[in-house]
Structure 1
């Protein structure tokens, strides 16, 4: 079982605003970009201030949905389901844009 943010929302679309009335989306990314981005470690906001880990960074590559599915299948796993899920926090936010996805697979 794999659940993650949908590549459309991580690679292609930039969103601004926090409510449905002012939320704006713009296609700013390149869905097929394979470059690495330097980011703060995901858990850094939970570390005590001044911690030696708090300033560490990681290199992140965002994958396309095709790359994810192909990598699962190439390991001999049979994909049972692929579900693309909209924003679950509101019927109005991000309408029509996949926010996350879930894949279930099993070894053949």
Structure 2
């Protein structure tokens, strides 16, 4: 899996934020390693507006494009780093659910007795 872009909306992204996103994406990379083709991750971080001073004004979106599927996770909150963790956990849950679904579909009925 590779991170194709990290975008900042209504804010500047520091190197610390970019490194934090890349570190958190390692968990997702382990889950996408079984895909035959590479998966692409797009990250968008930002503020919902320029003038809010309280409330959930940070947001994060992850868009994972993998062979045959596109997964999206979104979250909002007051702390940017907590929002990044929350959205990563949501996408991780979606990946695990997708893998379990594929395993369940590959299992067939037991062979009948003869």
TM above 0.5 = no
**Structure in which a larger fraction of residues adopt helix:** 2
Which protein has greater RCO, CA pairs closer than 8 Å, 6+ apart? 1
TM-score (norm 2): 0.27
TM-score (norm 1): 0.28
